[in-house]
Structure 1
Amino acid sequence: MHHPLVFDVTEQDFTEKVLEASRKRPVMVDFWADWCPPCRVLTPVLEKVAHGLHGEVLLAKVEVDDNMRLAGRYQLRGFPTVILFTGGEEVGRFSGARTEQQVRAFLVDHLSGTASAATAP
């Protein structure tokens, strides 16, 4: 089954689209809110990185106001928060806006070789 590189996720399909999918390839989850200015800054950066990696890392987007139980499950304190999943487990997270270079560095630090393209310009 073909997955888009960037997709929306809800509480109902989080297990399938994030946890199960991360067993095949890493999934970054962007927990964001419409009222959050740093979220609006980070989203296009994450989308650019995901598209630049050509499917090596997927980007799932969770709108927190509609999915508060997910935010609670992962004990999120601020937005945006990005959590990286591999093998069905959280392997890293960061909060707040980041540059493209910082997002790529985060992926390199937490994937150690599984996303080799993360180092590409």
Structure 2
Amino acid sequence: MRAHKFFLTSLILAVWAFASPVSAASFEDPKYSLEVKDEAGTKTLRDAFTKGPAILHFWATWCPNCRVELPAMERFEDELKAQGLDGQFVVVALEDVPYGRIQSFLQDRLELERFTSYQAVDMQAVGTAFQVAAMPYTLFIDENGDVLGGIPGSLEWDAPQIKETFIGHLQGKDTIASGN
């Protein structure tokens, strides 16, 4: 079992490390002006980030893999906040339901009390702009807003190698751009 997890984690990191860029843009790119909402109201996606580099993650309540990985993502988000990296990990639900239902799903069904998720106001436009190919879908964005690459499918957010690599990305210690 442990060897299987190590292999899976290594495979995911290898795919991520050699992923070709999804798109070249900047935080000034029109796609970052698309709107998301949370309990405080509506804002642009650009305003959801405090700074780059960043990780942008898409999910949906109907996605079984999303439901499995969200508890580990809450722990990952807690770790980022403890390291002062909050605001660089933005999670967006692509759902055509009232925002309150998404929050109820997270809190009541998955028992996630601290997890933060936005909802795309126009899920079709956001999905198209960021070329969301599967659910869940994770994008890695540099400090300028350029999308470096993406990983379709669920991840083991608790795996030490994934946490180390992703936190390194957020701290600007990036290896994806150079392919190392």
Is residue 56 of structure 1 aligned with residue 92 of structure 2?
no
Structure 2's unaligned 5+ residue stretches are 1-34, 38-42, 97-122, 174-180
Letter in 1 for 2:91: K
More strand by share: 1
The residue aligned with 1:93 is: 150
Is residue 107 of structure 1 aligned with residue 166 of structure 2?
yes
Q: Larger deviation: 72-81 or 51-60?
A: 51-60
Offset at residue 39 of structure 1 (A): 0.7
Offset at residue 106 of structure 1 (A): 4.2
Letter in 1 for 2:36: T
Larger Rg: 2
Task: From 128, 136, 142, give the equivalent of 1:72.
Answer: 128
The residue aligned with 2:48 is: 17
Is residue 29 of structure 1 aligned with residue 87 of structure 2?
no
Q: TM-score, normalised by structure 1?
A: 0.67
Q: TM-score, normalised by structure 2?
A: 0.48
Offset at residue 74 of structure 1 (A): 1.1
Give the count of matched residue pairs: 103
Letter in 2 for 1:41: V
**3-state secondary structure, aligned to 2:95:** helix
Distance 1:89 1:47 in 2: 25
Offset at residue 113 of structure 1 (A): 5.5
Offset at residue 40 of structure 1 (A): 0.9
In the alignment, is the contact (CA less than 8 A) between 1:33 and 1:80 conserved in 2? yes
Divergent runs of 4+, >4 A: none
72 and 106 in structure 1: CA distance in 2 versus 1, 3 angstrom threshold: farther
Distance 1:95 1:16 in 2: 25
